[in-house]
């Protein structure tokens, strides 16, 4: 009888197209690594996920209060291995990861970290002072005449504590795979140097067939479609400047059209609906609605002439489809992916440089698409090779642990 493996650690089933792309591909990776294993996925939509991915659906553990951690501990009795299965959780929600990994390890369940990323900065929502505490710390700094940064000291303490706990949890894992070298460097910085560098699991995603393409793609088949996603999590500080840049890109060629492609079909859609209404050339724009399937988003990206995004996984899906892309930085995860292609971000959400964005877009739109296709194929082959090597490392580590336990 094969192992029973629980995949989780990501807030799946919560309207994030990128996360759903990750888990779909992670399931495929684990089926290749452990063909006899029974797989289960922890998600807020267990029934839908079970039907779609042909796995056992489990509740979303770790993201719904203390009860979900207790339920996780109880569920572990039925599993041999828990895999924290992707996204940027090393920095976005490390406290959740630490608790899930440690609970599994204490229960005697083997643990694997699979292609997870880590930003240079921990999630500001959890590891920066806010509200009343921020005001008190600022007041304390003023009492010292500016000689002591109470805010910085407090935030450094928070970061050091969770990073130390994270390093301990990772040392208890059978195998740790990160999705890029900068994430590996961040783990070394916090005291864990045993990670293998893999790649984002979503590079394995296959595009949907032509019959599933939304109607807008057919209606615009003779136009130069520019796909855009602006994250509602960190919207631009100056949306007017960004709107002006997009208007300039559209105005430069009458055949250009802007297709807003939400990677969160709820919050991104709402934000971009408001944003597009303020554009001068809004009649040349459309919103991609009712399209939460990552393979369809990737197929649409494949019909675009250019993709511009502050959401990492629209960039990943565009790369899969060999479509040229530009990234707007909102943390080092976007920068890290762009670097694989020798690119730098065209500004950031805090400071949109109209000139830089419009110039980069014009250069990408004028360049032969075949040039980018050749580059992206080379990069994709390299990432796939890293993924194969990471899979082999995980198989070897899990086999060694199983032998030791036997």
Alpha carbon separation from 97 to 62, 73, 85, 299 (Å, rounded): 8, 14, 10, 32
Question: Do 4-204+382-405 and 210-367 agree at the fold level?
Answer: yes
Considering the domain 4-204+382-405 in this protein, what is its CATH number? 3.40.50.11720
pLDDT of residue 221: 93
pLDDT of residue 2: 86
Distance CA 301, CA 404 (A): 47
Cβ atoms of 94 and 162 closer than 8 Å: yes
Distance CA 91, CA 120 (A): 8
Cβ atoms of 342 and 322 closer than 8 Å: no
Q: Where are the alpha helices (DSSP H) in 107-180?
A: 124-127, 131-143, 150-171
Report which of 236, 252, 238, 328 is spatially closest to residue 284, judged by C-alpha positions: 252
Domain ranges for the chain: 4-204+382-405, 210-367
From first to last of its 406 residues, the chain has per-residue pLDDT tens of 589 999 999 999 999 999 999 999 999 999 999 999 999 999 999 999 999 999 999 999 999 889 999 999 999 999 999 999 988 888 999 999 999 999 999 999 999 999 999 988 888 888 888 999 989 989 989 989 888 998 999 889 999 999 999 999 999 999 999 999 999 999 999 999 999 999 999 999 999 999 999 999 999 999 999 999 999 999 999 999 999 999 999 999 999 999 999 999 999 999 999 999 999 999 999 999 999 999 999 999 999 999 999 999 999 999 999 999 999 998 899 999 999 999 999 999 998 888 999 999 999 999 999 999 999 999 999 999 999 999 999 999 999 876 555 5
Q: Does domain 210-367 have CATH number 3.40.50.2000?
A: yes
215-220: long-range contacts at Cβ-Cβ below 8 A with a sequence spacing of 24 or more?
216/259, 216/286, 216/288, 217/300, 217/303, 220/257, 220/259, 220/286
pLDDT of residue 405: 56
Distance of CA 188 to the CA centre of its chain: 21
């Amino acid at each position: 009888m094969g192992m029973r493996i629980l995949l989780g650690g990501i807030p799946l089933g919560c309207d994030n197209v990128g996360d759903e792309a990750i888990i779909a591909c992670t399931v495929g990776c684990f089926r290749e690594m452990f063909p006899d294993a029974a797989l289960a996925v922890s998600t807020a939509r267990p029934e839908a996920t079970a039907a779609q991915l042909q796995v056992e659906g489990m509740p979303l553990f770790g993201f719904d209060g203390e009860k979900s951690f207790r339920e996780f501990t109880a569920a572990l009795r039925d599993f041999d291995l828990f895999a924290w299965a992707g996204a940027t959780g090393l920095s976005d929600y490390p406290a959740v990861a630490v608790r899930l990994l440690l609970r599994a390890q204490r229960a005697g369940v083997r643990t694997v970290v699979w292609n997870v990323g880590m930003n240079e900065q921990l999630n500001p929502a959890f590891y920066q002072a806010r509200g009343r505490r921020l005001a008190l710390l600022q007041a304390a700094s003023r009492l010292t005449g500016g000689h002591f940064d109470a805010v910085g000291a407090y935030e450094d303490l928070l970061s050091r504590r969770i990073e130390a706990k994270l390093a301990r949890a990772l040392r208890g894992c059978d195998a740790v795979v990160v999705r890029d070298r900068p994430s590996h460097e961040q783990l070394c910085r916090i005291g864990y140097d045993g990670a293998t560098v893999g790649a984002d699991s979503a590079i394995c995603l296959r595009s949907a067939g032509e019959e599933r393409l939304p109607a807008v793609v057919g209606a615009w088949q003779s136009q130069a479609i520019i796909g855009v996603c602006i994250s509602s999590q960190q919207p631009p500080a100056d949306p007017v400047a960004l709107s002006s840049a997009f208007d300039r890109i559209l105005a430069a060629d009458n055949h250009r059209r802007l297709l807003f492609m939400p990677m969160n079909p709820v919050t991104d859609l709402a934000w971009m609906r408001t944003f597009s209404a303020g554009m001068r050339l809004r009649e040349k724009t459309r919103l991609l609605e009712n399209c939460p399937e990552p393979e369809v988003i990737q197929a649409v990206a494949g019909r675009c002439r250019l993709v511009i995004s502050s959401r990492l996984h629209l960039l990943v899906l565009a790369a899969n489809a060999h479509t040229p892309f530009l990234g707007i930085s909102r943390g080092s995860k976007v920068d890290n992916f762009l670097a694989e292609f020798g690119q730098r971000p065209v500004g950031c959400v805090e400071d949109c440089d109209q000139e830089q964005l419009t110039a980069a877009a014009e250069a990408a739109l004028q360049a032969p698409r075949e040039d980018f296709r050749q580059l992206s194929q080379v990069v994709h082959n390299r990432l796939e090779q890293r993924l194969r090597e990471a899979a082999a490392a995980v198989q070897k580590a899990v086999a060694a642990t199983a032998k030791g336990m036997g």
